[in-house]
Amino acid sequence: MTEPKPAAGGGDHYSYAHYANRDVAEGFDTLRFGGPIGLYLLETQQRLLLDAAEPRLSQPGARGSFAALDVGTGTGRAALALAQAGAQVVGVDASNEMLDVARARATQLAVAARFEHGDAHALTFADGAFDLAVSFRVLMHTPDWRRCISELCRVSRWRVVVDFPALGSAAALESGARRLRHAMGAKVEAYRVMSERSVRDAFAARGFRVVSTHRQFVLPIALHKAVGSLGVTKGVESALAAIGLRRAFGSPVTMVAER
C-alpha cells in the first residue's frame, strides 16, 4: 500500500522529522506525562475524551460497535483509553516509531486497537466512517491545521475532539521563543498557539458546532512541573479560576465539536 504523503512541509517539517526517532518515541510519555503534574494532565484529558464519547458509547449495543479514530495517536494513550471503554479504535500516526510504542502498550494491556501509518492531512478512511475522531497534540504542530480539522470532520459522523495551546495564554510566550529559536536554526518543536475563535470557525466551515470547551492551566505547565506538587497546582489553579483567569487565559484548550 502506498503511504499517504505529508502536506506542505513534507517529511522535513519538524512535526514529522522530530518524531521519526526511536529515542524520542520511547521517551515521549515520560517527558510529557511523567510526574504528578504530567499524570494529572493526562488523566484530565482522558476524562474529557471519555465524557465526550459517553452519550453514545453508553447506549445499549454500542460497546464493541462504537467506532473511534485517534489521529496523531503517538504512543496510543487516547486510542487505548477509548478501547478500554469499549470502542472499536483505529490509531493513525505518521511516525512508525511512535506506532511501535503504541502497539507494544496495547499488547501489554491486552487491549484490542488497530494502529496504522497515515497522515492527518489526508486520511484514507471514507466519509463518516467513525462515530468520533480525536486528535491531541497535533494542531499545534501540523503544517496545515485547518486541513487536519477538515479531515477529522469528514471522517466523523458525530463528534470531533481536539486540543491546542491557547493564544493569550502563558504558552504563547514559550511558543514565540521556540519559533524564534527554530528560525535561527535550532532543532526545537516550534509549535503554534491558536485562538478559540479560529478553531470554532474551522469547525463551523465543516458543519460542526462546538458543544464544550475546557481550559486547564493558567500558569505554565513547565512551572507546575518544576514545583512538582499536585496539591499546590490544584490549589493555585482553583484560586486563579475563581477570579476568572482560567476562563480568559487557561491552556491547553480541549474542544468538543458535534455535527
Read off the pLDDT band of 11 (50, 70, 90). Answer: low
**What confidence tens digit (pLDDT) does each residue in 79-100 have?**
999 999 999 999 999 999 999 9
- pLDDT digit string, tens, across residues 199-231: 999 999 999 999 999 999 999 999 999 999 999
Domain 10-165+191-217+253-258 classified CATH 3.40.50.150? yes
Q: What is the pTM of this model?
A: 0.91
What are the residues whose beta carbons fall under 8 Å from the beta carbon of 13, sequence distance 6 or more? 6, 143
Say which DSSP state 24 is in. Answer: H
Compute the distance between CA of residue 248 and CA of residue 170 in angstroms, rounded to an integer.
Answer: 11
For the chain, give every domain's residue range: 10-165+191-217+253-258
Among 11-15, 161-165, 180-184, 251-255, the minimum mean pLDDT is found in 11-15
Task: Measure the CA–CA gap between 234 and 242, rounded to whole angstroms.
Answer: 12
Q: Looking at residue 166, what DSSP letter applies?
A: B
Backbone angles phi, psi at 164, to 5 degrees: -165, 150
Report the interhelical angle of 77-84 vs 35-57 (nearest 10°). Answer: 50
The better pLDDT of the pair 175, 110 is held by 110
